[in-house]
Structure 1
Amino acid sequence: MTAAIDPFQLFGTGETEIPPVRLTAGKLAVDFKDGNLRTITYDGTEVLRAVSYLIRDRDWGTYAPRISGLTIDQRGDAFSVSYLAHCTGPDDTDLEIRVNISAEAGGAVVFEAEAISKTGFETNRCGFCILHPIVGVAGALVSVEHVDGRRENTRFPDLIEPWQPFKDMRAITHTVMPLVTAECRMEGDTFEMEDQRNWSDASYKTYVRPLALPWPYQIPASQAVRQRIVLNIADKRETLTTPASVSPDGRAVTITKGDKRGTMPSIGLVITPEEAKATLEAHDVLAEIGSQELLFHFDPNSGHDAAAFEIFDAIARLHAGTSTLEIALPCRQSPLSEAQEIAASMQEAGFKPDAIVISPSVDRQSTPPGSQWPACPPLEEIYAAARSAFPGARLGGGMLSYFTELNRKRVPSGPLDFVTHCTNPIVHAADDLSVMQTLEALPFITRSVRAIYGDKPYRIGPSTIPMRQNPYGSRTMDNPAGGRIPMANTDPRHNGRFAEAFALGYAAKVLDAGLECLTLSALTGPFGVIASASEPSPPGGRRPIFNTVATLARLAGSQWQECASSDPTAVLAFVAAPGKEAPQLLLVNVTPIAQQVELGSFRPADELKSGVSNLEPYAAVSITLD
């Protein structure tokens, strides 16, 4: 049971999330949490992932409003919720939001909000966000009503759209299941949709205020901002039955063998100049992990200089695998002169990585829709400069930030030996459920990359729960209290079993992308597999994610086989056969509750593990097979 496990073991903090309140109205069910609606289902099928009222600051950070006067009324066939939310901005500016939510069986869900400020309030966005799920919805038919009354019958994007697929929206209608449709009507402003899979969110997001309008903007003092969301579900079935795909509570998750096969990727660790000394001191742990790749990071705009290459070289000499240097090129001078200067410093230090990843520093910042692209030398010129300055090294390009930026600024792949990008699961939301749900988006990301770049060698990472760089604002968010906050440069769950499960789930979800390298952590520091001496940690300083990274490194180059899960939102699995060793069945529970797992036709070498296995919350296990 979850209650028997120390929360610190799971989440790296003793602070647990307040569970949602389940509200129902007939066949409609919603989870009410932190003032918003999550997991909106009808007759057991997810209709919307969320309806939320959000306030963003000038760096796209999300305010956590203080809620008061909360009233929840659950009746037999209806519910209602009301509360006041308060935000305090810079210079003691204030914003108050009055919220009412209601639903009746057979009727609409209504979520209305009125925001007003006594002082005026600066924001990048203030209003509703509606999230449609992606599984079963991607590529499906949808009808969009625009603000001028025009109706557009089209499809949700299948491959990930770099820009907004739908603009000037008033309502959107999609099929939930045969003969059941859901219309979401949005009142009070102009809405548009973005494909949130760009950021590895498992949703399409419809949000208020078009991005083409200026931001940040000011909400004038004493001027009310009113918005309303109305969700209507039309059910034309003669008899209402729970879909067969919905498993009764308590049923074991069944794991079966799939058809897809491939080769496990190499595993990398990222090393920054800030963590290089600690990494060198922990060289014995580095050898124990046995990662195939070291990814050294170098950014002159962050104060990195030639001294970094001496310690990089010392680390690389202790490493049995290959190494890559990623360079955020300042582009203040010609790309060739800057690349040659870096190459000369590397040569003086004796540092000679096997590969170079180069990207203009300016491309680390996002260029949102409607914004002007910043000045930047042509990428072909930058790649030619790198070829000249680093002869003999493999050349990689793409983005040092996320798939979003790669999708919007598609690099020319002809000059490159491989493409690369990162992901981060706390760009928009940082609650436990949202973070784990980002795993659902990863196959869409890798399939979209393959659609753009074909069979070009492909790497991902570093991709960690904490955010190493914020492409959407001036900074990542400091997190001294160790909370669950978006865009934070530290995250408590990286210290817990949560990160171990997230990393193994990540690997499972990208297996069929044919990656040549996957980087999910550093050795030390806030992204590391070992903790610093000042942090509470397990014996030896090893965080639980150490186990996943070491296991994946041991399995690199081996053959994997797909496994199908009857509930991939709960348990993920795959089989890896490391050379002459016995095959391993890797299982991961990506939920905070224990899961019963039926192993089906798999034959564990230990007969005691046959049949039904119990996976504790966020457990990652390996079972040896006959």
Structure 2
Amino acid sequence: MTSWGRVEPTPVSWTAGPWSIDVRGDELADITFDGSLVLRAVRAVIRDRDWNTVPVTTFPEALEGNPAPTLPLHFAGFGADFSGALSVTAEGDILTVSFTATAHTDFLRNRIGLVALHPPTLAGHPLTITHPDSTTTRTAYPDTIAPHQPARDIAALAWAADGLDITVRFSGDTFEMEDQRNWTDASFKTYSTPLDLPFPVLVPAGTVIAQSLELSVTRVAPAAVQDDPAIVFSPAGSLVPEVSVGSAVEHLVVTTPAEVAPALASLPLGTRRVAVFDATTHVTETALWDALVVAAAGSFELIGGTRAHFTELNRTHERLPADLPALTFSITPQMHARENAQLVESIGMQRLVVRDARAIAAGRPLHVGPVTLRPRFNAVATSGEAEARPPDERQSSPALAAWTIASAAALFQPGVALVSWFEESGPNGVAGFPVEEAIGWLRELVGHPLLTAHALPRDVWAFAAQHPTGPLALVANLRDEPVAVRLGAPFDRELVIPSLTAARVTG
């Protein structure tokens, strides 16, 4: 058991010449060439008609001492039963990953196949797409989070990063790319079977799926050298926003305008903020908003946006009511994966999501949350709204306190009026768990001038406030090892923060 309260498979390192891979369960993670990152990960996924990811069992012992390993896989759950394998071969500057899977039962799928995750540091880098007809398109990895697919009809992709020229060729299906930063995943994802094609699709028992990708890499310049400057703080020009536990906004989830007034009348006494969302689209549709404005008659603070991910706000904001006084959206790091690394990597994406939400808000305040570990509901189910996921065992872990401080450091930006996390009590709550202390630290700083941290080391997050008793910083270390950090003015000190913990530092 770790500080996360969750046991995960021990990563297995695999190297062949200049290539290196960390095998984490079913994921070929951190694929590097000559020490430089090429892909964040490659994995094979099977997703059912509601976009649930079918659980997979791996057999990592097959990798030990094998120069060309094959990782056996067994997918079972949500009505699926597939046996399969990921095979890896490396010859010089070319690495190939192959995936095969056989269906043992009939299965309704939305997606089956290889997924390649590109690091978010590629944002803004030029990208060349080769299409199945051999024509090419020159574009770039998006800087602003792309609401829709930034690359389609893919047979191959080529880009340059960290002194490498990189090409990846796909076979077995047509691929496309989506910007997973929409869901606070730290990646651009290239996946098989375009979303424009119908889904779900029946996969009969006995069907065999076969796909592969080939990475070709050339070193053209030295890799960048990273330095380790002191963390510096500067005035953000705003105050630390309001901090809440649970949803600070009452959600009216309805299907017609006629349902709005009765739903509003049933709210608990003392309700302060109200938002209305369509039960199918999960956003504030104009007809519902107009009904809420009339029914509320100025008695509540009204808010709109989406009860789901930033994705829905990013894709629908142009059709939202023009008179929304404030915007809201929620966050979960587990739309696509559950690993501890997924939680850690999501923090930087939370910062980007708020950056782009601020641009959409155009000066209106943002209400972010609730931020939860597991999704509160399945916003993309095609068979009707699926039940909420079971509680996450990491809710009671010591590491969640550090993660919450890091989340605050990412989300506390000018224009953010409120951030809410988790629930008050219960298995998804804060009461009685280590994260409760972290929430207390955050509340202590509410309403005081915010100081933004810069030059942060990897997986270290911080912010500060000008408290009446003096400057006060909160610093979180999300690494699996202690880290020594230097804090610049107004703190001017060095400290060592243990693994997966947070520190409260006074000036």
The question of 1:507 aligning with 2:408 is answered yes
Tell me by how many angstroms 1:47 deviates: 1.8
Matched-pair contact (CA < 8 Å) for 1:262–1:511? no
Q: List per-residue Cα deviations over 1:233-254 (Å, max 9, x = no partner).
A: 12223xxx45212x6xxxx784
Q: List per-residue Cα deviations over 1:270-324 (Å, max 9, x = no partner).
A: 26xxxxxxxxxxxxxxxxxxxxxxx2xxxxxxxxxxxxxxxxxxxxxxxxxxxx4
Q: What residue is the counterpart of 1:264 in the other structure?
A: 240
User: Secondary structure in 2 aligned to 1:29?
Assistant: strand
The question of 1:382 aligning with 2:368 is answered no
The question of 1:110 aligning with 2:96 is answered yes
User: Secondary structure in 1 aligned to 2:406?
Assistant: helix
Q: Mapping of 1:162-561 within 5 angstroms?
A: 162-178=147-163, 180-237=164-221, 241-245=222-226, 254-258=230-234, 260-270=236-246, 295=248, 324-331=249-256, 335=257, 337-346=258-267, 351-364=269-282, 379-392=285-298, 393-410=300-317, 411-473=319-381, 474=384, 488-530=389-431, 542-561=432-451
The question of 1:58 aligning with 2:49 is answered yes
User: Secondary structure in 2 aligned to 1:583?
Assistant: strand
C-alpha distance in structure 2 between counterparts of 1:528 and 1:181, whole Å: 47
Matched-pair contact (CA < 8 Å) for 1:44–1:243? no
More strand by share: 2
1:31 alignment partner, one of 22, 35, 58: 22
Amino acid at match of 1:423: I
Q: How many residues align?
A: 503
User: Secondary structure in 2 aligned to 1:522?
Assistant: coil
Tell me by how many angstroms 1:262 deviates: 2.7
C-alpha distance in structure 2 between counterparts of 1:593 and 1:475, whole Å: 40
More helix by share: 1
Tell me by how many angstroms 1:98 deviates: 3.1
Amino acid at match of 2:123: A
C-alpha distance in structure 2 between counterparts of 1:61 and 1:253, whole Å: 42
Q: How has the CA–CA distance of structure 1 residues 211 and 242 changed in structure 2, closer, same or farther, with 3 Å as cutoff?
A: closer
Tell me by how many angstroms 1:516 deviates: 0.4
Q: How has the CA–CA distance of structure 1 residues 17 and 512 changed in structure 2, closer, same or farther, with 3 Å as cutoff?
A: same
Tell me by how many angstroms 1:227 deviates: 0.6
The question of 1:101 aligning with 2:92 is answered no
C-alpha distance in structure 1 between counterparts of 2:500 and 2:265, whole Å: 47
Q: What residue is the counterpart of 2:12 in the other structure?
A: 21
Q: What residue is the counterpart of 2:68 in the other structure?
A: 80
Ranges in structure 2 where 5+ consecutive residues have no aligned partner: none
Amino acid at match of 1:212: D
C-alpha distance in structure 2 between counterparts of 1:552 and 1:599, whole Å: 19
Tell me by how many angstroms 1:89 deviates: 4.6
Q: What residue is the counterpart of 1:618 in the other structure?
A: 500
Tell me by how many angstroms 1:523 deviates: 0.9
Amino acid at match of 2:197: L
C-alpha distance in structure 1 between counterparts of 2:266 and 2:415, whole Å: 35
Ranges in structure 1 where 5+ consecutive residues have no aligned partner: 1-5, 272-294, 296-323, 366-377, 479-487, 531-541, 605-609
Tell me by how many angstroms 1:157 deviates: 1.2
Tell me by how many angstroms 1:80 deviates: 2.2
Structure number, greater radius of gyration? 1
C-alpha distance in structure 1 between counterparts of 2:60 and 2:242, whole Å: 53
Q: How has the CA–CA distance of structure 1 residues 592 and 68 changed in structure 2, closer, same or farther, with 3 Å as cutoff?
A: closer
Deviates more, 1:115-124 or 1:395-404: 115-124
C-alpha distance in structure 1 between counterparts of 2:376 and 2:464, whole Å: 31
Amino acid at match of 2:485: V
Q: List per-residue Cα deviations over 1:527-571 (Å, max 9, x = no partner).
A: 2111xxxxxxxxxxx21111121111121111121222342x321
Matched-pair contact (CA < 8 Å) for 1:60–1:472? yes
Matched-pair contact (CA < 8 Å) for 2:364–2:415? no
User: Secondary structure in 2 aligned to 1:462?
Assistant: strand
The question of 1:570 aligning with 2:452 is answered no
Amino acid at match of 2:114: F
Matched-pair contact (CA < 8 Å) for 1:113–1:226? yes
Amino acid at match of 2:400: A
C-alpha distance in structure 2 between counterparts of 1:398 and 1:389, whole Å: 18
Matched-pair contact (CA < 8 Å) for 2:373–2:392? yes
Matched-pair contact (CA < 8 Å) for 1:261–1:562? no
The question of 1:124 aligning with 2:110 is answered yes
Q: List per-residue Cα deviations over 1:46-77 (Å, max 9, x = no partner).
A: 221111111112222222323348532658xx
C-alpha distance in structure 1 between counterparts of 2:361 and 2:154, whole Å: 32
C-alpha distance in structure 2 between counterparts of 1:203 and 1:585, whole Å: 29
C-alpha distance in structure 1 between counterparts of 2:246 and 2:375, whole Å: 13
Q: How has the CA–CA distance of structure 1 residues 562 and 74 changed in structure 2, closer, same or farther, with 3 Å as cutoff?
A: farther
User: Secondary structure in 2 aligned to 1:385?
Assistant: helix
User: Secondary structure in 2 aligned to 1:516?
Assistant: strand
C-alpha distance in structure 2 between counterparts of 1:69 and 1:175, whole Å: 32
User: Secondary structure in 1 aligned to 2:155?
Assistant: strand
C-alpha distance in structure 2 between counterparts of 1:35 and 1:342, whole Å: 45
- Cα RMSD for the two superposed structures: 2.4
C-alpha distance in structure 2 between counterparts of 1:493 and 1:477, whole Å: 20
Tell me by how many angstroms 1:220 deviates: 3.0
C-alpha distance in structure 2 between counterparts of 1:118 and 1:466, whole Å: 30
Tell me by how many angstroms 1:145 deviates: 0.7
Q: What residue is the counterpart of 2:143 in the other structure?
A: 158
Q: What residue is the counterpart of 2:482 in the other structure?
A: 594
Tell me by how many angstroms 1:475 deviates: 5.6
C-alpha distance in structure 1 between counterparts of 2:456 and 2:117, whole Å: 24
Deviates more, 1:582-591 or 1:61-70: 61-70
Q: TM-score, normalised by structure 2?
A: 0.93
Deviates more, 1:211-220 or 1:392-401: 211-220
C-alpha distance in structure 1 between counterparts of 2:364 and 2:385, whole Å: 33
